[in-house]
Amino acid sequence: MKSAAWLVAVFVAGTPALLVAGEPVRVAVRPGGVARWHGEGTTACSNGHRVWEPLGATCYYPVDLEATGTIAVARVRAGVSEGALLVVGGYPYPEQHLTVDDRMVHLSKADLERTRRESAQVGRLWELQTRPRFTLPLAAPLPGTVAGGNFGARRVFNGEPRSPHSGIDYKVAAGTPVLAVAAGRVVLVGDHFFAGKSVYVDHGGGLISMVFHLSRVLVEEGQAVATGHVLGKVGATGRATGPHLHLGFRWHGARVDPAVLLDGGAAFAVIP
């Protein structure tokens, strides 16, 4: 039996921004996936925590890698608020067993304090909300056609389980150029315990790309980059078992599968 009413309220500076009444449509989406809701005249999108502008006439709703249950989303189209429920499916990713230097698994007190500082520094980037400077699909992060994988894999280091893998890995030779997937601004250059030499780019619209384990970084913080700009060179710095590129995304704070944003939209869940 349908409920009499359904309400989503998104607060911006204490004021409700989107209100939706009525029974929402339900759409299945996988952890780390993205739902797409297209409609001419769309002017605002929301996931219950944030409000943002659409890309063209389309709202995209990223779902975090470890999300569960249902997520209420909303949009404003032609002045009318509409809502939907994203139903997050079961965790579909395999386990990945890796052997690394034991100090990368059992951290010293100093290394643990370092990783906490680095995590706090990086975490501030997820709140950035600048104007979108990208279109979908995004460009390839490496020259030519190279397959990547391992997104979502439940990682087991030296026999001990750790957090799931939140990006995709490309096994390519050390020194291979790493390219910006879209225009943006470099918001952080780091040399971090786990990620090694890394670059974070704000592409606007709540989208942050990150490339890890570089041997060299060729950009500076604050620098504007165009699609295809060389950010650095592939390496094996940080917690890495060999030369490779780790490409990750945060979109409106959610860890999403890079393949979804690189493949032209075939993997999007579609809200009718």
Per-residue pLDDT reduced to its tens digit, 42-73:
999 999 889 999 999 999 999 999 999 999 99
pLDDT at 21 (0 to 100): 53
The rounded percent of the chain whose pLDDT value lies above 70 is 91
Q: What is the separation, in whole angstroms, between the first and last Cα of the chain?
A: 21
Mean pLDDT of the region 148-152: 90
Residue 160 in tokens? 């001990």
Nearest to 233 by CA among 208, 199, 195, 186: 199
pLDDT band at 1 (very low <50, low <70, confident <90, very high): very low
pLDDT at 98 (0 to 100): 75
Q: Where are the alpha helices (DSSP H) in the chain?
A: 109-123, 258-262
Is the model more confident about 116 or about 146? Answer: 116
Q: Convert the pLDDT of each residue in 99-141 to its tens digit.
A: 777 777 777 999 999 999 999 999 999 999 999 999 999 999 9
- Ordered by where they begin, the domains of the chain are 9-91 (2.60.40.10), 96-264 (2.70.70.10)
- What pTM does this model have? 0.88
